[in-house]
Amino acid sequence: MENDVITISKGRQIDLLVLYCDLVGSTRTVMSLEPRQVKRFYKIFLDEMTHVIDDFGGHILKFVGDCIIGLFIMPNVGWIPYVDSAILCAEMMQNVMKHSISPTVESEGLPPMRCRIALDYGEVQVVEVGVEDIYMSVDVFGNVMNVTSKILSKAEPEEVLIGRNMWDLLYTTHRTRCKKTETLEIDGNPYEIYMLTY
């Protein structure tokens, strides 16, 4: 199902916060499960994280395997609550994983789950891609998508990592909860990553 909020931005350049969340080690984990259990394992994670992102005002762009890509679209005016919601959403996703999803799947005899999360802020182009009459979809393209993916690759299980561009926009309370962890090289320039303590 197409996301209406993203679809109506088709053809435009917009600012947004990107959230990547993926399951850690799931590929190896599901190899030992029956097909029914594999379905349950992924569905419980994707369904519940979708609820959390939606409850905090975000939108699902897509699922890529066991990775969820969420977006918080930033209006030009009144954008501050969206930044605060995105960071609180990431924190809640980790808490829901730890206290709701993982204990439930374990009680069903499935392996425990852990996820990692990355967030950043930037500008994207919303583009309709595909071939008419065969397959069309709306997607977003921009450096922030690649950067957030790189940040995610640096995250350990249960961590929330944030790019410098988003850190700049955080509420003081949240900013002081972040610790600088490492520096990426993006287009030849240093780019700091921060870890949210929660």
Partner 1 sequence: MKTGKRFRIDWTVEKITPIGEDKDAKYYKIRMVPDKRTWEHREVDGTKGWFNTLENIFISDDEMAQAAKTMKGIPITVSRAEIGNPQEYIEKSRKRVRTKNGE
Candidates 67, 171, 184, 191; binder of partner 1 (CB under 8 A) is: 171
79 touches partner 1 (CB under 8 A): yes
User: In the bound complex, what is the minimum distance in angstroms from residue 48's beta carbon to partner 1?
Assistant: 6
When the beta carbons of 10 and 43 are compared against partner 1, the nearer one is 43
User: In the bound complex, what is the minimum distance in angstroms from residue 42's beta carbon to partner 1?
Assistant: 12
16 to 45, contacts with partner 1 by CB under 8 A? 40, 43-44
User: In the beta sheet, which residues pair with residue 192?
Assistant: 183
When the beta carbons of 101 and 138 are compared against partner 1, the nearer one is 101
Q: Is the distance from CB of 114 to CB of 135 less than 8 angstroms?
A: no
| Count of residues interacting with partner 1 (CB under 8 A) | 38
Q: Which stretch binds partner 1 (CB under 8 A): 58-66, 74-82, 132-140, 141-149?
A: 74-82
Candidates 10, 11, 25, 55; binder of partner 1 (CB under 8 A) is: 55
Candidates 81, 112, 130, 157; binder of partner 1 (CB under 8 A) is: 81
What distance lies between CA 179 and its chain's CA centroid?
A: 19
User: In the bound complex, what is the minimum distance in angstroms from residue 11's beta carbon to partner 1?
Assistant: 15
When the beta carbons of 99 and 129 are compared against partner 1, the nearer one is 99
Q: Is the distance from CB of 51 to CB of 60 less than 8 angstroms?
A: no
Q: Return the structure tokens found at 97.
A: 């994983």
Residues that bind partner 1 (CB under 8 A): 13, 15, 40, 43-44, 47-48, 51-52, 55-56, 74, 76-81, 83-85, 88, 92, 95-96, 99-101, 104, 108, 168-173, 175-176
